[in-house]
Amino acid sequence: MKPAVVVAAVALALSACGTRAPDAMLPVQAEAIGAQRVPMLVATTRNPLPDPGVLFGGERSTRVSFQRIDVSVPPTHRVGEVEWPDTSPGDPARHFVTLRSEPLEEAGLRDTVREMIRKSGQRRVLVFVHGYNNQFDDAVFRFAQIKHDSAAPGVAILFTWPSRGRLLAYPYDRESATYSRGALERLLNGLAAEPSVGEINVLAHSMGNWVTLEALRQQAIRKGRVPEKIRNVMLAAPDVDIDVARTQVLDLGPRRPKITLFVSQDDRALAFSRLFWGSAVQLGAIDPEAEPYRTALARANITAVDLTRINSGDPLHHATFAESPDVVRSIGARLATGQAVGHEQSLGEGIGLVVGGAARSIGAAATAAASIPAAAVDPASRRNLEDNFKSILPGLTDRQQGVATD
């Protein structure tokens, strides 16, 4: 794909964002009949802000902060979407809104994990690591949607690193991801050491895969292996150079968690990343049926799902999974029964998951925009991108933009 076409495609896809309330983290007092409360815990390396409606910014902090946040999902919610409040305060009958927000110390986080496990009877934890171009509220509301739509059991913990939420801050975001790997490692170590926690599942998207693989790699190097409690690692559209990813996975050692990889060869966001870095290919854009990838995946016992030809509402093909109610529910159901994702049977008849290899989605998958639960690539998070791209390619025509998204 030509550079101008890649940039045009990303510009067009990311420019469509609606009006959105700027203080979505400010708790509302009212609850709506039929709304569902989603409690989550947050660990972040972002800088704290004095504004209670924002809480955390996109700059780096020298310390990790912790927060308890409860989000209300409206009764009119459509699976796979985040209904953002367009006014302040949001309407809990129509919007995702914050019901509760309180800071925690690290010891308070552990106490809350134990209390949530005691009340739910579920000893599982789902840790989500968002991708590039996400502000704090983006990550919070998207993870609330993931947890709600998947009905994944156990405690929801968001690890959010300092993304500025701007397209042209890509280099800063990448360095922030690296900056945060030690904090994620410590969070995972603490969860693994907690007796009340029986199983940890990790879901990462886009650049969040870099943070995740680096944290797991550090665990394996320091401890001799990734903690046994970390059972599933789900890598969605990983924005990681293929050669770097290979060494990261090898460093996890033979007793690594079950890894499930979701790829798309027509992922335009990863094409932009490849253009930016000059990489040969990003892990999330490989053809898992082609050599040498097929053999390498089989040897590493990595399950790959190819989403290339799946139709979805995402013109970048980077967040296909955000449009996939069927797979959100399927993954949640497998986690609920304690099965490794992709371990023996497919996530669903139409997904075509193959253990230790790869399968192209066929049949029913054509109508199920298949992937991991909806991640943090929400159009509303992409605020100022159209102007940024116009400054890069001021002469770009509408026709060129149309070709870019075909």
Can you tell me the mean pLDDT for 50-64? Answer: 97
Q: Where are the alpha helices (DSSP H) in 224-317?
A: 242-251, 268-277, 293-300
Cβ contact 314:273 at 8 Å: no
**Bridge partners for 241 per DSSP:** 282
Nearest to 112 by CA among 47, 171, 64, 156: 156
Query: Cα torsion for 365, 346, 336, 84, to the nearest 10°?
Result: -20
Q: What is the pLDDT of residues 73-83, one digit of tens each?
A: 999 999 888 99
pLDDT at 218 over 60: yes
pTM more than 0.95: no
- Backbone φ and ψ of 380, nearest 5°: -70, -15
- Under 8 Å CB-to-CB from 9, ≥6 apart: which residues? 1, 268, 271, 272, 315, 316, 401, 404, 405
> What DSSP state is assigned to residue 56?
E
pLDDT at 250 over 60: yes
> What DSSP state is assigned to residue 241?
B
Task: Provide the mean pLDDT of the chain.
Answer: 77
